[in-house]
Chain A
Amino acid sequence: MTLHHANLTIGPFSFAIATDSDAVASDLARIYQHFGCRPSSKSARPDFVDFDIAVRTRSPLRRYIKPQIDFYLNERRPFKPLPRDQGYAMLEWGMNWCIANHAHQYLIVHAGVVERNGRAVVMPAVQGAGKSTLTAALVYSGWRLFSDELALLGLGDQWAYPVPRPINLKNESIAIIDAYIGGGVFSRPAHDTSKGTVALLQPPAASVEAMKIGAPVGAIVFPRYVPDSGVQLTAVERAVAFEEIIAHCFNYHLLGVEGFDLLYGIISASPCYTLEYSDFDLARAALAELVA
């Protein structure tokens, strides 16, 4: 069985990835095409990486009977195995986990982040609110992708920093976005995951090219897909936004007063809104006004 190796630099992070799954290697090459990712059987691991990860089949027996796959960080398995055909999704979830659990030089918020006119819009939301779907629609319509999942907020300067990884779309959102952007490059869909059917959408080339360039936060928007709502942008009291955003942070309590000062600084300087949307074009126009 061939072991495929790939090295990826995504925003401020570097990953060394290994997998014995041809399907995972193939998806990796396709989805990270703009990063110059070409998995190879030869390991050319750099001297230093932030995260040394692997996705490998569990055991020889498990290759044939209900095959399962494991995610490894530094040869340790932090999760239970998943069915092998969820291997690529597991790799992406594992990469999220690596960043969210280790990159404490940032305040990390569960949020989509997009940029336009040099200002970032941070969109915190719970899973299923439509954050990734809206992010995908925006970044294939002229906005720059920072992330559909993890807002990285710099402790020193209060800026947002990009980590433009693939956009994690679920269930009906996959076809909706594929139609809206006129055909996207997706990973093979993983069915019957804990989130339903999942497919990863390739990040736009322009966002990848600019992945080292951060931006000050221009607005905080709490998005929610509401059928037939068109678009409804409503100002939120900043203290309410502060309270809400804490609930979406991965490491606020770990950072202590640094996290508090950072969030206070951003929220006291940024307008805060809720956004109910069902129409991408209307939502895009409403958000564009915030950073005009």
Chain B
Amino acid sequence: MNSRDGTALVSRRFTVAPGVIVRSLDDCRVAFDTTTGNTHFIRSINALVFDLLASGAFTLAEIEQGLPLDSGETLTEEERLLIGTFLTSASQAGMLATQ
């Protein structure tokens, strides 16, 4: 996948990569990549994205639908942008696998 390609981002399904261990510290997710030895800290809306991706593989649209938001609340444009950037950078860092 060319993760810089916005079209590809939409069509792919993302999941937490094998070998990535995820722990919670308050509102933050701490992910340890056993392949690289790198530790990542995931905050804000992306912590919820990471929780979702730990349970399966989802497209961007499914992620946006599946986030546990408060009743009636929808994602802001800024949050959508954050999620898109996260999916791209986390895939490049090896934390996320794509299908």
Contact = CB atoms under 8 A, between A and B. Distances in A.
Interface stretch (A53-61, A146-154, A235-243): A235-243
Contacts of B30: 239, 242, 264
A257 B32 contact: yes
Contacts of A267: 25
A32 B34 CA distance: 42
Contacts of A256: 34, 37
Contacts of B34: 256-257
B43 interface: yes
A239 B28 CA distance: 6
Interface in B2-36: 21, 23, 25-28, 30, 32, 34
B20 to A, nearest CB: 11
A237 B26 contact: yes
A239 B27 CA distance: 9
Interface in A187-222: none
A268 interface: yes
A246 interface: yes
A253 interface: yes
B39 interface: yes
A123 to B, nearest CB: 20
A239 B32 contact: no
A90 B2 CA distance: 53
Contacts of B25: 238-239, 242, 264, 267-268
A260 interface: yes
Contacts of A238: 25-26, 28
A60 B59 CA distance: 73
A253 B39 CA distance: 9
The size bracket of the interface on A is: 10 to 19
Nearest to B24: A268
Interface string B34-69: 100101010100000000000000000000000000
Which of A238, A260, A267, A268: most chain B Cβ within 10 A? A260
Contacts of A243: 39, 41
Contacts of B28: 237-239
Interface string A231-252: 0000001110011001000000
Interface string A248-283: 000001001100100010011000000000000000
B39 A257 contact: no
A253 B43 contact: no
Contact of B37 (A237, A242, A253, A264): A253
A260 B43 CA distance: 18
A239 B43 contact: yes
B26 to A, nearest CB: 6
B26 A239 contact: yes
B3 to A, nearest CB: 24
Nearest to A264: B23
A260 B39 contact: yes
A255 to B, nearest CB: 9
Contacts of A264: 23, 25, 30
Given A237-B26, A239-B27, A260-B32, 17 more contacts: A238-B25, A238-B26, A239-B26, A239-B30, A239-B43, A242-B39, A243-B41, A253-B37, A256-B37, A257-B21, A257-B32, A257-B34, A260-B21, A260-B39, A264-B25, A267-B25, A268-B23
8 contacts: A238-B26, A239-B26, A239-B41, A246-B39, A256-B37, A257-B32, A257-B34, A268-B25
Closest 3 CB pairs of A and B: A239-B28, A260-B32, A239-B25
